[in-house]
Amino acid sequence: MKKVYQSPKGFRDILPIDQPYWQKIRQVAQEVAASYGFSRIDLPFLEETELFERGVGQITDIVEKEMFNLRTKGGDNLTLRPEATASVCRAYIEHGMKQWPQPVKLYYCGPMFRYEHPQSGRLRQHWQFGLEILGDKSPVLDAQLCQIAFSIFSKLKIQKGITVNINCIGCEQCRPEYRRTLVGYLRAHQNGLCTDCKRRLRQNPLRVLDCKEDKCQPVKKEAPQIIDFLCNVCNNHFKAVLEFLDALSLPYLLNTHLVRGFDYYTKTVLEFIPDGDVGSQSTLGAGGRYDGLISLLGGRPTPAVGLSLGMDRIVEYLKKQKIGFNEKMAPQVFLVQIGDLGRKKSLVLFEKLKQSGLRVAEAFSKDSLKSQFKAADQLGASYAIILGQKEAVEEVLILRDMQSGIQENIKLAKIVDVLKKRLKEKNKE
């Protein structure tokens, strides 16, 4: 029995029927990013495993459970990137971007890879569009990233129902006191924690607040809030971010238990969640400030902030909301050919019409007039040009109005001008 090959578990094909969504998201996101002064960076799919172990954190679900690791024949330990921020910071250090005018604003678009249980909104290969601002600590940048995300959502016709869930998780100055208080609380309630969180309690207690297990939710709900332990610097920074969001009239919700799943975050953390949806799989985007990551990876101390949008989830959300994008415009003219000479002439004419700026379609592989006219009808062409043996010899064409059925003979040399005139008249009707 022949084996039937399928895409690997958690991976998928993006078929032509869905491409208008993806093309629109890429187009809108790139145009908005460029309008705010961001430049594109393309990053390698593979990085040294240690980059993510140090950057994301050893005691995180991504590093512990979700990385695709491989060992090369030369003995190098590499990982398919599970996220891109650590890669951007590595590039910032490697290419001396500290010497560039600061802040450096970069955007990327591409697939990320995580080994996890595949389900709706959570695939092993998923696509992200990300924005990173490196080299400035101003809270206005945290708010501006939210503004950019809302601008993208608006241009994608997601006009309502997105809220920024936001929190401040402090810094190395104020977090230790909170950590001690949190550990004391969690130890007193550890019977209500899942097995993973009992281990996290010993190694990385803040990760308990990021747990998605139902068992842990009641304990998380009553846990101490880090916002009560912020130092003056973090408190002032967060207060300014919220004031900027108010000035921009952006909807936000203070979520005092939001910590995100990466160790590199400091101060601001945020998620974009549609109204009425809860849980990690409904999040359309997320990010935050990571002022210590570049120095952790060997660079000079450099404040930074960024966010990423989940393109797969945005596509699913657009479909759920019945928001469609049909970017494919109907052809203005369809070439119908008869016989070998007609086909040869049509090949040349096709290029001439296309270069003149007209939208042209054809079915050169078909001989039947009926099947060619059927294709012209299905595509919604305004006009058909019929070019047979006789017409090819006499250098004339038959121009047919597909709506009225009226036909007329036109000299081959004049067809472009005649078509443009007819189309202009039709647009005025």
Please indicate if the annotation marks 84 as binding a ligand. yes
- Phi, psi of 370, rounded to the nearest 5 degrees: -60, -45
Helix (H), strand (E), coil (C) string for the chain: CCCCCCCCCCCCCCCHHHHHHHHHHHHHHHHHHHHCCCEECCCCCEEEHHHHHHHCCCCCHHHHHHCEEEECCCCCEEEECCCCHHHHHHHHHHCCHHHCCCCEEEEEEEEEECCCCCECCECCEEEEEEEEEECCCCHHHHHHHHHHHHHHHHHCCCCCCEEEEEEECCCCCCHHHHHHHHHHHHHHCHHHCCHHHHHHHHHCHHHHHHCCCHHHHHHHHCCCCHHHHCCHHHHHHHHHHHHHHHHCCCCEEECCCCCCCCCCCEEEEEEEEECCCCCHHHCCEEEEECCCHHHHCCCCCCCEEEEEEEHHHHHHHHHHCCCCCCCCCCCCEEEEECHHHHHHHHHHHHHHHHHCCCCEEECCCCCCHHHHHHHHHHHCCCEEEEECHHHHHHCEEEEEECCCCCEEEEEHHHHHHHHHHHHHHHHHC
Please indicate if the annotation marks 213 as binding a ligand. no
Please indicate if the annotation marks 128 as binding a ligand. yes
Please indicate if the annotation marks 34 as binding a ligand. no
Q: Which tokens go with 125? A: 């290969």
Please indicate if the annotation marks 50 as binding a ligand. no
- Could you tell me the CA-to-CA distances from 215 to 191, 195, 202, 218, 367 in Å, in that order? 10, 10, 18, 7, 67
Instruction: Yes or no: say if 252 and 145 are a contact pair by the CB < 8 Å rule.
Output: no
Please indicate if the annotation marks 114 as binding a ligand. yes
259-276 burial string, b = 16+ CB within 10 Å, else e? bbbbbbbbbbbbbbbbee
Please indicate if the annotation marks 132 as binding a ligand. yes
* Angle between helices 19-35 and 139-155 in degrees, nearest 10: 140
Residues annotated within the binding site for L-histidine are 83-85, 114, 128, 132, 260, 264-265
Which residues participate in the annotated binding site? 83-85, 114, 128, 132, 260, 264-265
